[in-house]
Amino acid sequence: MKNSPTYFRDGKLLVKNGDIRVYELNSELFMELGRQNLISSERDLSEYIWQMSDRPFGNCLLIGLGLGVASKYLLSFDNVKSVTVIEEYETIIEAQNELSPINDKRFSIINEPALSHLYETDKQYDFIFLDYHTTINKVTFPIIADTALACKKVLTYNGVLLGWLNNNTPEIFIDSFFNLFNT
């Protein structure tokens, strides 16, 4: 039985920037941080559509840039006024911009740690989506919880706060994860 292709072994390396590598395999892009740690994929679009549905509106905040797939999805809505992305890693911003720049006047990127921005800004957002974690486990869950709490400070009264749920999340974290986003 033949193994299925692996992007970091079978794909074509398109960008290497510090610890960030972007590969193309079967006409799809994959981004990894470090070695063999997938952090973003064009395949994520179907998950974004399922998880965000038609809820994005107004001024949107996205925590985590990756390949820009979620950003582009948000910008596809006519009722989205702006999309601000907070991305801590400049190498991710540079790689994304090299491969798939987003040229939309409604789009901007802030290069700083999410919690710093969330505690320092006075701006309010109508829709916030956390998409900076690759796994949800006993180590990452408290960090995600802190970020979700800080997001509530900048969320408008009728705003929507969501987070990306990894399909491989252990069942013991799923209910707790969704409870983080109850406003």
CB atoms within 10 A of CB 85: 25
Would you say residue 4 has pLDDT above 80? Answer: no
Q: What is the mean pLDDT of residues 34-40?
A: 80
Would you say residue 40 has pLDDT above 90? Answer: no
pLDDT tens digits, residue range 100-127? Answer: 899 999 999 999 999 999 999 999 999 9
Can you give the pTM of this predicted structure? 0.91
| Residue 30 or 166, more confident | 30
Any alpha helices (H) in the chain, and if so which ranges?
A: 7-10, 45-52, 69-75, 90-99, 114-120, 140-154, 171-179
Tell me the HSE value of 21 on the side-chain side, using a 13 A CA sphere: 17
Would you say residue 60 has pLDDT above 90? Answer: yes
- Average pLDDT score over the chain: 90
Would you say residue 168 has pLDDT above 80? Answer: no
| Residue 132 or 61, more confident | 61
CA–CA separation, 22 and 112 (whole Å): 22
Looking at the DSSP assignment, which residues form a beta bridge with residue 132?
none
CB 39 within 8 A of CB 131: no
HEC readout, 26-57: CCEEEEEECCCCEEEEHHHHHHHHHHHCCCCC
DSSP character at residue 169:
-
Looking at the DSSP assignment, which residues form a beta bridge with residue 58?
80
pLDDT tens digits, residue range 69-112? Answer: 999 999 999 999 999 999 999 999 999 999 989 999 999 999 99
Q: Is the dihedral of CA 6, 8, 13, 17 positive or negative?
A: positive
CB 169 within 8 A of CB 134: no
Structural domains of the chain in order of their starting residue, each with its CATH number: 8-40 (no CATH), 42-179 (3.40.50.150)
